[in-house]
Structure 1
Amino acid sequence: MSFFGNQSNWQLRSLKEIATLKRGYDLPTKLRTAGKVPIYAANGQNGSHNEAKIKGPGVITGRSGTIGKVHYTSTDYWPLNTSLYVTNFHGNDPKWVFYMLKAFQLERFVEGAGVPTLNRNLVHDELIPLPPLDEQKRIAAILDKADTIRRKRQQAIQLADDFLRSVFLDMFGDPVTWNKNDIAKGWTVKPIEEISLLKRGYDLPKQSRLEGNIPIYAANGITGTHNEFKVKGPGVITGRSGTIGKVIYSENDFWPLNTALYVTNFYGNNPKYIEWYLRFLNLERYVQGAGVPTLNRNLFLKEVSAVPPKAEQDRFEVICKLVSQLIFKNLDFNKKELFNSLSQKAFAGEL
């Protein structure tokens, strides 16, 4: 049985018969000479050298440390010994192999309690539906286009983020520097817990989740969907344990997990403004715990902060919406065919 479905009834082959993985080669920093040959470690390009070890095109992934990332290079390269590289494509299309390994979720095969390590012997015996070469090239071309859209969207999101950050500073200043003495704008001064009250999310085991379109939020963002919401949108979510400092805005109803905190009371403030207000507070400053980082909300909820007039908050939200419409007008990617979903369909023979 394969991790991928096999709707087209392609022949099943073991991974080692499709793309044989081999450990990379040591190259200490002191032995590297300036050049144009990219050096690949487990997490991607890690410098350059004047000598290639492997001819391109190449596909590289992590062997130890960072597991699950897959990298493609069209040029000759040097794979380090923290990586695995495809030493034999067995006549298959390298770009198809690259996308296949990305969709295959290699992090499922991690071993080791200390430094995560990918056991290639486990991976090599996994069965993969193998389409004909022409079909491989067609799939790779489709995913190339989809990936281009995805990267453009990421760039657009970053562009919008940078712009709105500067707008917020121009309109309100930096919340970290606000205090009773330096605000001469007539703004209200309150404890943070009376501006945006944060509450711990709710448990929802994976086995209890039912198919639906309600986003589930963990500390680092969406981690699945459910058929029932716990909190009505719009809402603001941030990390309680694990990932700290990321602040997320949800326009729609959602379910916040217990690794997250969500704003349970906006006290009449604009939720979009509160999202950016919390982002500027640098919540990672309030982390406690030597093991799993944990946000101690009691440390900052009692702090005093200023509240700009609601009309100004609403004006900021209008700017946010206009920027979003302007930037994403030509970059809207069908949510039902997000890149990861599209990849799964491709390698199951459903495209």
Structure 2
Amino acid sequence: MSNLINVPLASLALNSGAFVDGPFGSNLKASEYVDDGIPVIRLQNIRPNRYDPNNLRFITKRKAESLQRHNYQAGDVVITKLGELCGVACQIPKNAQSGIIVADVVRFRGDSSRIDHRYLVHFLNSQDGRCQVSQLTKGTTRQRVNLSDFKKIQIPLPTLEEQRRIAAILDKADEVRRKRKQAIALTEELLRSLFLDMFGDPVTNPKGWDKTTFGDLVPAKGEIVDGPFGSSLKPECYVNNGIRVIRNFNIHDDLFDQSSFVYVTEQKFVEIFRSNVIPGDLLLSTKGTIGDICVMPELQGESVLSASGTVRIRLPGKSPLLAEFIVQQMVQASYKKYMKLFEAGTNQKYLNLSGIRKMELIVPPMQIQHNFVAVRENINHLKIRQQIDYSESNNLFNSILQKAFRGEL
């Protein structure tokens, strides 16, 4: 990072109480959540450069007062400290209500005379920032970065004026790629609406279609599997090239994200072959963002599930349901809500194989499914063009990002 001085993140905090993580688990239990009140930010509310207010939890004002040390307010930076995407950061928007962070989130409040929060967020989400976080990550099945380690992250620090200039450029580039991503979301909504017109709500089943469960649909042993046990696939097993590992980061609703992979050796792949993935398999995220589903596309080379948060479902040869049709059922808002009935866990919710096998699916005649999938293909051609536009804007953003934090912008 030419011509830039690196300083530890802790040195940029406003005061000793400005850099904290959330309350210990027993101090904020899921049973204490209420329908309305003071918002609680969890991992799923923090996206790269973006605060996501969906699925907030709430606690009473009295409970929030007892956790005041762990509060956040508009303008603060919040960072994830648990999961495969440790270190993801965003800034709380100006119009957001103040609230409390959970144990797996860090809140940073900087000295405004030295650090611009937008600049900091962009750096933490950059390749250079992510690399530092990756080196600090501990754990196997539950990867984590401690607050004490976050404090050590080195921030390239130009003048405050230069930070603001860089942040403004990156904000504009980020806005372009967001708008192109929004166009994709509108196309996806068109497809969901078409599904409801043809088949009705897949949960209430107003058209009276036959129904099945995943367990009955895929009865063979080893065809619904999760990733290898954590100790079998630790982060240090990853290599630069080899067999791709599919993480929940790659799984989105009706979209397989090919922008970032990690890899393992062929020898490791043989050891964890139970969790292999082939084109046509259904891929389901089961931790973090729970319930995202897509079909594995045709990619060259072998693939395997990561150790956490992913499930592979391999349909039998004479399945009464098309994989693409199953995906469209499960991306419907009502089905998302239905899946929550099968979540396990208290503070950290997840889907296990037992719950997945119990989930019901509607089974219309195969010809109608084929008709729908054919229309879906036409819509997806439009979506692919939109994704190419988004990819180009994303590449441009990342290029600017790398130059910015090397003092070359």
TM-score (norm 2): 0.56
Residue 265, structure 1, aligned to residue 322, structure 2: no
Q: CA deviation digits over 1:48-90, x for unaligned, max 9?
A: xxxxxxxxxx9522499998543276x8999778754223333
Q: Please name the residue that 1:100 is paired with.
A: 123
Q: Return the alpha-carbon distance in structure 2 between the equivalents of residues 255 and 337 of structure 1.
A: 30
Q: CA deviation digits over 1:259-284, x for unaligned, max 9?
A: 32222126465432221133344433
Contact 1:64/1:118 (<8 A) preserved: no
Contact 1:236/1:262 (<8 A) preserved: yes
2:235 paired residue among 206, 211, 215: 206
Q: Return the alpha-carbon distance in structure 2 between the equivalents of residues 308 and 182 of structure 1.
A: 15
SS at 1:175 equivalent: coil
Moved more, 263-272 or 330-339: 330-339
Contact 2:344/2:350 (<8 A) preserved: yes
Shift of 1:166: 0.6
Q: Please name the residue that 2:246 is paired with.
A: 217
Residue 162, structure 1, aligned to residue 189, structure 2: yes
Structure 2 unaligned runs (5+)?
19-37, 46-50, 57-73, 102-106, 138-143, 252-259, 270-275
Residue 61, structure 1, aligned to residue 77, structure 2: yes
Output the amino acid matched with 1:70: C
2:208 paired residue among 182, 197, 203: 182
Contact 1:192/1:305 (<8 A) preserved: no
Q: 1:61 to 1:118 in 2, by over 3 A?
A: farther
Q: Return the alpha-carbon distance in structure 2 between the equivalents of residues 232 and 320 of structure 1.
A: 24
Q: Please name the residue that 2:91 is paired with.
A: 71
Contact 2:78/2:108 (<8 A) preserved: yes
Contact 1:234/1:251 (<8 A) preserved: yes
Q: Return the alpha-carbon distance in structure 2 between the equivalents of residues 194 and 338 of structure 1.
A: 46
Task: Report which of the two has the higher share of strand.
Answer: 1
Q: CA deviation digits over 1:186-218, x for unaligned, max 9?
A: xx7766456567511342432222224976334
SS at 2:331 equivalent: helix
Contact 1:13/1:127 (<8 A) preserved: yes
Output the amino acid matched with 1:182: G
Output the amino acid matched with 1:283: M
Percent pairwise identity: 22
Q: Please name the residue that 1:244 is paired with.
A: 290
SS at 2:76 equivalent: strand
Output the amino acid matched with 2:326: I
Q: Return the alpha-carbon distance in structure 2 between the equivalents of residues 137 and 213 of structure 1.
A: 40
Residue 86, structure 1, aligned to residue 110, structure 2: yes
Shift of 1:312: 1.5
Contact 1:237/1:256 (<8 A) preserved: no
SS at 1:86 equivalent: coil
Output the amino acid matched with 2:166: I
Output the amino acid matched with 1:209: Y
Output the amino acid matched with 1:300: M
SS at 1:21 equivalent: coil
1:21 paired residue among 4, 14, 21: 14
Q: 1:15 to 1:194 in 2, by over 3 A?
A: closer
Q: Which has the larger radius of gyration?
A: 1
Aligned length: 305
1:274 paired residue among 303, 310, 326: 326
TM-score (norm 1): 0.63
SS at 1:331 equivalent: helix
Contact 2:283/2:310 (<8 A) preserved: yes
After superposition, residues 317-328 of structure 1 pair within 5 angstroms as 317-325=376-384, 327-328=386-387
The alignment's C-alpha RMSD in Å is 4.9
Q: Please name the residue that 2:25 is paired with.
A: none
SS at 2:240 equivalent: coil
2:305 paired residue among 256, 265, 268: 256
Q: CA deviation digits over 1:150-208, x for unaligned, max 9?
A: 322342233223221111111222232349x934xxxx776645656751134243222
Contact 2:79/2:88 (<8 A) preserved: no
Output the amino acid matched with 2:246: Y
Q: Please name the residue that 1:285 is paired with.
A: 341
Structure 1 unaligned runs (5+)?
1-5, 25-38, 47-57, 111-115
Task: Report which of the two has the higher share of helix.
Answer: 2
Q: Return the alpha-carbon distance in structure 1 between the equivalents of residues 345 and 121 of structure 2.
A: 39
Q: Return the alpha-carbon distance in structure 2 between the equivalents of residues 330 and 68 of structure 1.
A: 24
Q: Return the alpha-carbon distance in structure 1 between the equivalents of residues 328 and 200 of structure 2.
A: 12
Residue 10, structure 1, aligned to residue 8, structure 2: no
Q: 1:13 to 1:177 in 2, by over 3 A?
A: closer
Q: 1:118 to 1:60 in 2, by over 3 A?
A: farther
Moved more, 146-155 or 159-168: 146-155
